[in-house]
């Protein structure tokens, strides 16, 4: 209700109907609480697609595009983007956070699986995962500024094409 910066652990405890010490035992401050919430929500978007009969590349592309849509529409992320976007700046320009590291681990694993089944091009999976993180982050964080030029459905189509083309083995036709 108040934005992340104005949220206190005392307010969280009051609204959760628990004692302040209960909350403080788990989180030292509101930033740690918000960080844990963001990581939990990001983790929930990484459910592997259950596309029967699809190769690893198709599953990874679909998972990323769906995760970006989910994050962009998520109430917590929407609130942060609207009221406290400067909080995300650290994780855009200064350092990797836990959520980003989880994305990198997931992407690396999926790229390795795709390389084994031949659906993903050769290359260093860690470097490729890092590029996917940059692409996904940009789509999640900056899509709002181009909404007048590209709606959510168009973004999904173009993001799918960008990621699929990036991962596709050389010589494979679209």
If pLDDT is split at 50, 70 and 90, which confidence band does 165 have?
A: very high
3-state percent helix, strand, coil for the chain, nearest multiple of 5: 70, 0, 30
Q: Is the pLDDT reported for residue 171 higher than 90?
A: no
Q: Report the alpha-carbon angle 163-152-35, nearest 5.
A: 75
Question: Residue 158 contacts by C-beta under 8 Å, 6 or more apart in sequence?
Answer: 150
Q: Report the alpha-carbon angle 111-125-100, nearest 5.
A: 85
If pLDDT is split at 50, 70 and 90, which confidence band does 95 have?
A: low
Mean pLDDT of the region 7-27: 86
Per mean pLDDT, which range of 10-14, 37-41, 116-120, 154-158 is the poorest? 37-41
Over residues 104-148, the pLDDT tens digits come to: 998 999 999 999 999 999 999 999 999 999 999 889 888 888 989
If pLDDT is split at 50, 70 and 90, which confidence band does 42 have?
A: confident
The reported pTM is 0.78
- Residue 97 and residue 106: Cα distance in Å, rounded? 14
Are 9 and 20 contacting, i.e. CB atoms less than 8 angstroms apart?
A: yes
Over residues 59-78, the pLDDT tens digits come to: 899 989 998 888 887 777 77
- Residue 9 and residue 170: Cα distance in Å, rounded? 52
pLDDT at 39: 78
pLDDT above 70 covers what percent of the chain? 84
pLDDT at 14: 87
């Amino acid at each position: 209700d108040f934005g992340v910066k104005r949220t206190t652990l005392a307010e969280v405890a009051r609204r959760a109907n628990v004692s302040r010490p209960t909350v403080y035992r788990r989180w030292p401050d509101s930033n740690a609480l918000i960080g844990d919430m963001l990581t939990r929500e990001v983790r929930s978007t990484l459910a592997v697609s259950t596309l029967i009969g699809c190769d690893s590349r198709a599953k990874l592309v679909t998972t990323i595009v769906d995760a970006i849509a989910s994050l962009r529409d998520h109430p917590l992320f929407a609130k942060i983007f609207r009221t406290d976007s400067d909080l995300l700046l650290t994780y855009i320009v200064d350092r990797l956070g836990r959520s980003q590291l989880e994305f990198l681990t997931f992407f690396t694993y999926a790229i390795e699986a795709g390389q084994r089944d031949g659906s993903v091009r050769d290359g260093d999976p860690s470097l490729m995962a890092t590029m996917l993180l940059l692409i996904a982050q940009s789509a999640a964080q900056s899509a709002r500024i181009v909404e007048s030029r590209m709606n959510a459905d168009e973004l999904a189509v173009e993001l799918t094409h960008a990621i699929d083309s990036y991962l596709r083995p050389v010589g494979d036709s679209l």
